[in-house]
Structure 1
């Protein structure tokens, strides 16, 4: 395995997953190793680590897959399994799966006995470039995304892009949205390179390199602002409207993958970047057209505007009843805490709808 030279996140690119995990576990008591995974990852991904010394079926916790199961009841199941299994403060929890198990598992580990160590093995593109790195953990609560959580860095993140062979196209495309976000907030050259990459027909060798570059961008912002008090909020570009659309879709019985919601959110927030910060309209249109080409369109009618607005009011970046956005002055130039009114947000949703014509 190759350790990436990052300042904050302890990330390794796997060369042989089982051997690399075995090497990492030399730092721990093998009788104190627990594994958390969801049912899909248990079926498709767990066999690749099952033979590693210290990985024991009796200490493997399997939860239901899907973001709708990222709730306190699932955390309680993990806490109970750790307690019944004799976990102590020297134990380590390996979180194997996509963003849901790494988010939930990190939170469970950070709160069990006031904190035990954990290792993330992200298995989706989305979790490799976003959810598993940066120290954010959390669960959903009362319908709101990641409403409860803590900041806690993983002991290590072991990234193996061979897991992409188990992903369908929708999940691969979903993760690509976070890579688009990373390039737009960081570098115009990165965006020019990324938009030439065909995620619908991917070159997996090239994608492995792009994954490492995307993680490095996230690490840059995390190092500058570990607890998201300032510039790290740039990583929320696309997420205020994206989370609102995602929550709306879930309530409407049409749940979508997180990355797709972020993609749709970026379209609306590109419009806000034009009206609030002067991003050239032609540039916003070109980026939005490219996003729509890849992600299609999720129907949010004008009659749903008030519902979308209410969801934006619950975003974690809001302060003193101000609805705050992270927006682009230009590609690679971000301004955080940009206050937008209800009228601004509804105009942004009209712009989003214009790309379905």
Structure 2
């Protein structure tokens, strides 16, 4: 079985690579789920794709994290049903990671699976969320609790979309790039710690987009169903996901201009806490940990929480899908490029949270 997606990456990849691919593919009918905001800011980039479709084959939806739930899925399934979508058709999901997650999840269970193509329009989507076939929606306040594996036949990472992203969106995607650089090691880590995510052009970003897309796709090809190698991609996510879910649920704020924690911000916090645990348990090098801390201080405001909030955070960690027993699983590291899957107790997790607060807050 082919456990891979075709990867299109680069400036104008949508027009120059994806559109010719769709024409050559000869699929019966193409449908699109599109973040409605993109029509206002990227009409020129989207035109070559939209011109292939009749208007009634396009569903415009709102696609923030607050819409990543079953009510929004109902709208998508109604669109599929009314449009008589069948298993010979393909659905193109165009938007950020929330939209590709939601669109992929809806397609995965409609008529037992409709083919999809992802066109991520955020940095986070390009380097992580849109690749690998993990689709999900949030449920009962837990991030990505309902989901399915549904590999897209292709992913198009067109860096033209990066030009309109906010600093917060760029930094969110950069959090996943930092994670990938720790797993890849070598030159990628050295380039990440010297990179300025807020004052770099699309050509500089393209190096990280290309490498991250290819790295994640190679891991997924080896382990689609998360039984071994792919678990390493959860580095920083045990604590990171818990922080993200907690602050989404509580609607807490972290300053005058911030309302919700982005995924990448939470991952950076999770990386620091979890690599400290790796330092204590596996001897992960202190100098690399402190390079990460310096990177975080230069680019990210600290996530403010107290020890009184540890219990609800631990509760969320114990709901993590990686857990196979009552203990909490997390990805530790011996050094750059050397991940190890471990189980840890509450005290070790609290020590990681303590370290983050001591270093960043």
Equivalent residue of 1:37, what SS? strand
How far apart are residue 14 of structure 1 and its match? 4.5
- Give the aligned CA root-mean-square deviation in angstroms: 1.8
Q: Could you list the per-position Cα deviations for residues 103-149 of structure 1 after superposition, in whole angstroms to 9, with x for gaps in the alignment?
A: 11111112111111111111011000001111111111111111111
Are 1:280 and 2:288 an aligned pair?
no
How far apart are residue 189 of structure 1 and its match? 2.7
How far apart are residue 161 of structure 1 and its match? 0.4
Contact 1:93 1:118 in 2 (8 A): yes
Residue among 301, 305, 314 paired with 1:309? 314
How far apart are residue 20 of structure 1 and its match? 3.2
Are 1:259 and 2:264 an aligned pair?
yes
Residue among 129, 149, 152 paired with 2:150? 152
Contact 1:50 1:56 in 2 (8 A): no
Contact 2:269 2:356 in 1 (8 A): yes
Partner of 1:250: 248
Q: Distance in 2 between matches of 1:230 and 1:152?
A: 18
Equivalent residue of 1:138, what SS? strand
Contact 2:11 2:160 in 1 (8 A): no
Aligned residues: 351
Residue among 231, 235, 238 paired with 1:237? 235
List runs of 5+ in structure 1 lacking aligned partners.
1-5
Q: TM-score, normalised by structure 2?
A: 0.92
Q: Distance in 2 between matches of 1:235 and 1:54?
A: 36
- The 1:233/1:20 distance shift into structure 2, 3 A limit, reads same
Partner of 2:256: none
Residue among 339, 343, 349 paired with 1:345? 349
How far apart are residue 27 of structure 1 and its match? 4.0
Residue among 6, 9, 14 paired with 2:5? 9
Are 1:293 and 2:298 an aligned pair?
yes
- The 1:66/1:232 distance shift into structure 2, 3 A limit, reads same
Q: Distance in 1 between matches of 2:287 and 2:26?
A: 57
Contact 1:289 1:355 in 2 (8 A): no
Equivalent residue of 2:135, what SS? coil
Q: Distance in 2 between matches of 1:128 and 1:99?
A: 8
Contact 2:314 2:346 in 1 (8 A): yes
Q: Distance in 1 between matches of 2:114 and 2:301?
A: 42
How far apart are residue 47 of structure 1 and its match? 4.9
Instruction: Please give the residue correspondences for 1:87-98 in structure 2 after superposition, counting only pairs within 5 Å.
Output: 87-98=85-96
- The 1:294/1:311 distance shift into structure 2, 3 A limit, reads same
Q: Distance in 2 between matches of 1:308 and 1:198?
A: 31
Q: TM-score, normalised by structure 1?
A: 0.93
List runs of 5+ in structure 2 lacking aligned partners.
253-259
Larger relative contact order, structure 1 or 2 (CA cutoff 8 Å, min sep 6)? 2
- The 1:212/1:71 distance shift into structure 2, 3 A limit, reads same
Greater shift in the superposed pair: 259-268 or 214-223 = 214-223
Contact 1:242 1:262 in 2 (8 A): yes
Q: Distance in 2 between matches of 1:24 and 1:14?
A: 15
Greater shift in the superposed pair: 37-46 or 159-168 = 37-46
Contact 1:237 1:327 in 2 (8 A): yes
- The 1:192/1:15 distance shift into structure 2, 3 A limit, reads closer
Partner of 2:71: 73
